[in-house]
């Protein structure tokens, strides 16, 4: 079993686990489920977190260079070892985007559309749930409902920031900073992808024009080439006649 083979096998199970985690977490946050009634949801959250933890250690065990993989995936370790930091646990939902990227095809426009729609929607939903989770019980909180949280997430990820809603807790502000940076990153990816697509189209058009021009030049030169070929044949025939005449004159 290689790490690549393992990842191919667990892609869809991990996506299903992430969806279950998101559903349970959203139910708990939006419904403000506390006390004994939250026990089933907490059990689901801990089970899904356990699955993600097992996935991390299996990836580490199967990695060809374990130290290199460990160093390049320290964020994965933080998500596993900080289970009580609930907003951070939501970062495991990037599994959804990873699987989605593999299923949209290889065209550049397909990848751009997927990342724009998928990443933006996921970031808004995750950001709204995370900030609502830490803000709704805080004193002087401005974000008290999921509608407020969703509106705040949209204005934050687009870096508009009307200022009508804002987090008042330290963790809420960390979530806001992460959401703003993520929005900038998404816009940067979109801009770079569009620029790359335009350059590719320009190169394709330039190659097409060059090919068409080459065909026109070849068509124009064809009669000249035919005449030159005829002249070469005539010269060769004349040389043969001259050689025969020389032989006849020498024999006399």
What secondary structure, in 3-state letters, does the chain show?
Answer: CCHHHHHHHHHHHHHHHHHHHHHHHHHHHHCCCCHHHHHHHHHHHHHHHHHHHHHHHHHHHHCCCHHHHHHHCHHHHHHHHCCCCHHHHHHHHHHHHHHHHHHCCCCHHHHHHHHHHHHHHHHHHHHHHHHHHHHCCCCCCCCCCHHHHHHHHHHHHCCCCCCCCCCCCHHHHHHHHHHHHHHHHHHHHHHHHHHHHHHHHHHHHHHHHHHHHHHHHHHHHHHHHHHHHHHHHHHHHHHHHHHHHHHHHHHC
The token duo for 239 is 């040389």
pLDDT digits (tens, 9 = 90+) for 37-66: 888 888 988 888 888 889 889 988 999 888
pLDDT band at 151 (very low <50, low <70, confident <90, very high): very high
pLDDT digits (tens, 9 = 90+) for 234-243: 777 777 777 7
The pLDDT value given to residue 99? 55
The pLDDT value given to residue 251? 65
End-to-end CA distance of the chain: 94
Q: Which residue's entry shows tokens 């160093």? A: 71
State the chain's maximal CA–CA distance in angstroms: 130
Higher pLDDT, residue 129 or 90? 129
What's the CA angle centered on 32, arms 27 and 34, to 5 degrees?
A: 105
Residue pair 179/157 in contact (Cβ under 8 Å)? The answer is yes
Residue pair 30/146 in contact (Cβ under 8 Å)? The answer is yes
**For the whole prediction, is pTM greater than 0.85?**
no
Say how far residue 92 (Cα) sits from the centre of its chain: 16
- CA dihedral sign of residues 242, 244, 247, 249: negative
What is the C-alpha separation between 91 and 182, in angstroms, rounded?
Answer: 12
Supply the mean pLDDT for the chain: 77
Percent of the chain beyond pLDDT 90? 5
The pLDDT value given to residue 179? 86
- Indicate the range of 28-37, 102-111, 142-151, 213-222 predicted with least confidence: 102-111
Residues sharing a CB contact under 8 Å with residue 12, sequence separation 6 or more, in sequence order: 99
The pLDDT value given to residue 81? 74
CA atoms within 13 A on the CB side of 164: 10
The pLDDT value given to residue 107? 52
Q: With 80 as the cut, is the pLDDT of residue 119 above it?
A: no
Higher pLDDT, residue 227 or 59? 59
Q: Which residue's entry shows tokens 């751009």? A: 112
């Amino acid at each position: 079993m290689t790490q690549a083979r393992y990842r191919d096998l667990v892609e869809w199970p991990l996506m299903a686990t992430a969806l279950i985690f998101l559903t349970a977490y959203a139910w708990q946050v939006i419904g403000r489920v506390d006390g004994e009634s939250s026990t089933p949801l907490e059990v689901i959250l801990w089970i899904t977190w356990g699955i993600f933890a097992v996935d991390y250690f299996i990836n580490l065990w199967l990695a060809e260079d374990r130290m290199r993989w460990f160093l390049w995936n320290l964020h994965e370790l933080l998500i596993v070892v900080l289970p009580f930091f609930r907003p951070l646990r939501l970062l495991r939902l990037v599994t959804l985007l990873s699987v989605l990227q593999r299923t949209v095809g290889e065209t550049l426009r397909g990848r751009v559309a997927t990342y724009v729609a998928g990443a933006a929607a996921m970031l808004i939903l995750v950001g709204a749930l995370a900030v609502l989770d830490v803000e709704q019980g805080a004193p002087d909180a401005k974000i008290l409902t999921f509608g407020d949280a969703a509106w705040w997430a949209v204005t934050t990820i687009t870096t508009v920031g009307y200022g009508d809603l804002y987090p008042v807790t330290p963790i809420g502000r960390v979530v806001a900073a992460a959401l703003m940076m993520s929005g900038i990153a998404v816009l940067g990816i979109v801009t770079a992808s569009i620029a790359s697509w335009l350059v590719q189209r320009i190169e394709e058009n330039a190659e097409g024009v060059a090919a068409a021009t080459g065909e026109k030049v070849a068509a124009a030169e064809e009669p000249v080439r035919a005449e030159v070929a005829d002249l070469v044949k005539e010269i060769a025939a004349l040389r043969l006649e001259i050689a025969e005449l020389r032989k006849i004159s020498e024999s006399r």
